[in-house]
Amino acid sequence: MPNKQLRCQVSVRIFGEEKCFGPGVADLLERVDRLHSLRKATIEMDMAYSKAWKIVKIAESNLGFSLLVSVTGGKGGGGAELTPDAKSFLAAYRRFEESVRSYADEAFVEIMGG
């Protein structure tokens, strides 16, 4: 009798010359979009700012477009925003990720009997 507790978990990663985009980068960008700050996003994720900056630069290099644009200071200080290309790519990535997961769940049940 199959174990009804079994499930599959699929993660979608996109590669260029190297791994450049996946769940972690997507999460980082969503937080930047919400918080309007790379630094605040890294604090919320308990990630070093330098690591986040490196991740963003690797993704930009492989994707061929900028993900973030700096917003200069003023009364509230500076920050960061997603570029239109980043917003579009992030939305497409999330749609693709959901499609892959949905297919994987169906295939798991069909093939593995889960």
pLDDT at position 89 over 80 = yes
Q: Taking CA 63 as the corner, what is the angle to CA 59 and CA 65, rounded to the nearest 5 degrees?
A: 95
Is 66 part of any domain? yes
> pTM, whole model, 2 decimals?
0.87
Task: Find the CATH number of the domain harbouring 59.
Answer: 1.10.10.10
Domain count, the chain: 1
**C-alpha Rg value of the chain to the nearest Å:** 17
| Mean pLDDT value across residues 107-112 | 91
* Range of the structural domain that residue 75 is part of: 16-103
pLDDT, tens digit, for every residue of 9-28?
999 999 988 889 999 999 99
The most distant pair of C-alpha atoms in the chain lies apart, rounded to whole Å, by 64
Task: Tell me the HSE value of 33 on the side-chain side, using a 13 A CA sphere.
Answer: 16
pLDDT at position 78 over 90 = no
Mean pLDDT value across the chain: 91
| Mean pLDDT value across residues 51-55 | 96
Is 92 part of any domain? yes
Tokens read off for 76: 């509230």
Task: Tell me the HSE value of 7 on the side-chain side, using a 13 A CA sphere.
Answer: 6
Band (pLDDT 50/70/90 cuts) for residue 75 is low
Band (pLDDT 50/70/90 cuts) for residue 3 is low
Which residue in the block uniquely carries the two structure tokens 């200071």? Answer: 73
